[in-house]
Amino acid sequence: MNANHWAGPRRRDRLGLRLAAVAVAGATVATLAPTAAVAAGVGVPAAVAEAERPGPAVDLGPELRTLVERGGATAALGEVRENGRRPWRDAAGVVDLDSGRAVRTDSRFRIGSVTKTFVSTVVLQLADEGRLRLDDPVERYLPGVVPNGGAISIRQLLSHTSGLFDYLEDQRFLYHDEASLRAYLAEGRWTDFRPEDLVSVGVGHAPYFAPGQGWYYSNTNYILTGMIIRKVTGRTWQREVERRIVEPLHLDSTTFPNTSTRIPGPHAHGYIQLPEGPTDVTRLNPTVADAAGNGISTTADLDRFHAALFGGKLLTPARLAEMTTVVPAPTIAAHYGLGLIRYDLPCGEVWGHTGGIPGYNTILLGARDGSRQFALSFNLLEGAETDETGAAIDSLFLKAACGPDGTGKTGADRSQSPLKLLR
C-alpha cells in the first residue's frame, strides 16, 4: 500500500501502477475542466433536498464542489449522520461526462476496502456463536492453502499482522506503462478470478515478516477470510454478509456481487485519464477484489451500517471491544483493529475504513460511541489530480469529523490529516 499521504502521479510512477490506483505512467496530467453541470452540484429536486437536510450543523458542500471543480473529481457525494438524524447530505458533479447530468445524492458506488469491515463483522459474529475462534490457525479451516498456515491465526488475518504478501503487489496487477494499462482496460478488467487464484499469487511470494511480528496492509488476508467464512458456514461470504447485516439493517442499496460487472441503480461513472481524454472504467469484474473490496453501497447505507456496528446492534460489547483493539499501522499513520482503522485527530478518535477501486474512492468514519457517522464517495479522474486534490479531501475529512473549523476546537492548530485511502 502507498505510504505517503496523497500519492500524485509522479509518486505512483516510481511505485509502479497498481490495479487499485490505475493511472498512466508518464502521461500528461490534465485537470478536468468542469462543465456547468459539474459546478452546479446537487442532482435532486430542491424540495427533496430540503427534506433530507433539516438544518445542517456543518455544510461540506463547498468542499465537495472544490473537489470536483479544482481537484480532478467528476463527482463527489457525502452524508453526515448524528444520533440517527441526517443533518447534511449533498452531491456535486455529474453522472457521466457525456450527458453532463447532475449526480444524485442517493447514487451507488463501489466501496473498495470498506468491504473489509462487513466481512470482519461476520467473522466476529461467527466467533460469538462458537463456530470458530479468532486465534484458530488458518490451517484448521484451509489445510495446505497457506505455507506456515498453522502459525497464522484468523485474528492476524483480520488485523493485517499475518505477514502475508499482498497479491495486488504482484507484477501481474501492476501497470508500468500506457500499453499495459490499455491492455487492462481492453481485456484485463473483465477477467474472472477465483479466491484460490488470488491467494496462490499472494503465497507465491515470501512473506513480509513472521506472523505477528509486524503490520502490513495485505488484501490476501481478506481473500482468505472470505474462504474461511464459506468453509465454516457452507455459504459464500457475500451471502453471510447479506443475511447477517444487509437484510436485518435494510441496507437496500448495498450489494456484494460475484462476477457482475455493472453497478445497479443510479450511480456516477468512474474514469481513468488517458492522453486522448477520460476513459470510462465503471464496469469491471469485481472478482479481482472479492472479500477484500468488491462491495457496492450508498452514503446512507454506509452510515446506517456504521451506526449499527458501533451502536451495539451487530456485535456484543465484548466482540466490539476485540474489533477495536488496535495495533500500530505505521505505513498509514493510524492504528488498525479487526477490519477497522482508528485515526487520531485534533478533536479525538474516529473509526471506520477507507477504500478504493478503479474509478471510485470511499471514506466511512465516525465516533466510537456510535453518535456520529460520515460517508463520502468521490470519482477521482485518475491521472488528472491537481495540487488541490489532497487538500480538498483532507478538508472534507477533518471538517466532517471535527466540525466547521476542522479541529473541533476554536482557534486550534489544524494539523495535516493522516488519512490514507486504502485499496
Percentage of the chain modeled with pLDDT above 70: 83
327-329/295-297 β-pairing = unpaired
User: Is there a domain that residue 38 lies in?
Assistant: yes
Banded pLDDT at 20 (limits 50, 70, 90): very low
Residues paired with 375 in a beta bridge: 79, 364
CA distance 218 to 230: 20
Percentage of the chain modeled with pLDDT above 90: 72
CA distance 404 to 219: 35
Instruction: State the pTM of this model.
Output: 0.86
Confidence check: pLDDT of 306 > 90: yes
What angle (nearest 5°) sits at the alpha carbon of residue 337, between those of residues 115 and 202?
60
The counts of H helices and E strands in the chain are 14, 14
Banded pLDDT at 419 (limits 50, 70, 90): low
- CATH number for 94: 3.40.710.10
User: Which amino acid belongs to residue 201?
Assistant: V
pLDDT for residue 52? 40
| C-alpha cell at position 120 | 470482519
Higher per-residue pLDDT: 43 or 230: 230
Confidence check: pLDDT of 11 > 70: no
Per-position b or e across 297-310, b if 16+ CB within 10 A of its CB: bbbbbbbbbbbbbb
User: Which amino acid belongs to residue 206?
Assistant: A
User: Is there a domain that residue 409 lies in?
Assistant: no
**Average pLDDT, stretch 299-317?**
98
Confidence check: pLDDT of 420 > 80: no
**Average pLDDT, stretch 310-317?**
98
Considering the candidates 99, 107, 113, 260, report the single residue annotated as catalytic.
113
What angle (nearest 5°) sits at the alpha carbon of residue 305, between those of residues 304 and 310?
100
According to DSSP, residue 66 is labeled H
**Average pLDDT, stretch 154-161?**
98
Helix (H) or strand (E) holding 387: none
According to DSSP, residue 380 is labeled E
User: Is there a domain that residue 411 lies in?
Assistant: no
pLDDT for residue 407? 61
Least confident of 126-140, 237-251, 335-349, 383-397: 383-397
In the residue annotation, 180 being an active-site residue is answered as no
Higher per-residue pLDDT: 175 or 362: 362
Tell me the per-residue pLDDT of 169-226, one tens digit each, with 9 for 90 and over: 999 888 778 998 999 999 999 999 999 999 999 999 999 999 999 999 999 999 999 9
Q: Which domain holds residue 340?
A: 9-402
Residue identified by cell 482508528 is 342
User: Is there a domain that residue 61 lies in?
Assistant: yes
Residue identified by cell 478488467 is 189
Per-position b or e across 72-104, b if 16+ CB within 10 A of its CB: bbbbbbbbbbbeeebbbbbbbbbbbbeeeebbb
pLDDT for residue 294? 97
Residue 210: other Cβ atoms inside 10 A: 12
Closest among 419, 305, 423, 418 to 361, alpha carbons compared: 423
CA distance 330 to 160: 12
pLDDT for residue 174? 83
pLDDT for residue 387? 81
Tell me the per-residue pLDDT of 86-125, one tens digit each, with 9 for 90 and over: 999 999 999 999 999 999 999 999 999 999 999 999 999 9
Confidence check: pLDDT of 276 > 90: yes
360-366/277-280 β-pairing = unpaired
360-366/372-380 β-pairing = antiparallel
Residue identified by cell 505477514 is 163
Banded pLDDT at 390 (limits 50, 70, 90): confident
pLDDT for residue 21? 32
pLDDT for residue 383? 76
CA distance 128 to 69: 48
Q: DSSP of 119-164, one letter per residue?
A: HHHHHHHHHHTTS--TTSBHHHHSTTTSTTGGG-BHHHHHHT-S-P
Residues paired with 382 in a beta bridge: 272
User: Is there a domain that residue 275 lies in?
Assistant: yes
The angle, 0 to 180 degrees and rounded to 10, between the axes of the packed helices 115-128 and 299-310 is 30
How much is the mean pLDDT over the chain?
Answer: 85
CB 278 within 8 A of CB 118: no
Tell me the per-residue pLDDT of 38-53, one tens digit each, with 9 for 90 and over: 223 333 322 333 334 3
User: Is there a domain that residue 1 lies in?
Assistant: no
User: Is there a domain that residue 85 lies in?
Assistant: yes
Into how many domains does the chain fold?
A: 1
CA distance 110 to 19: 14
Banded pLDDT at 22 (limits 50, 70, 90): very low
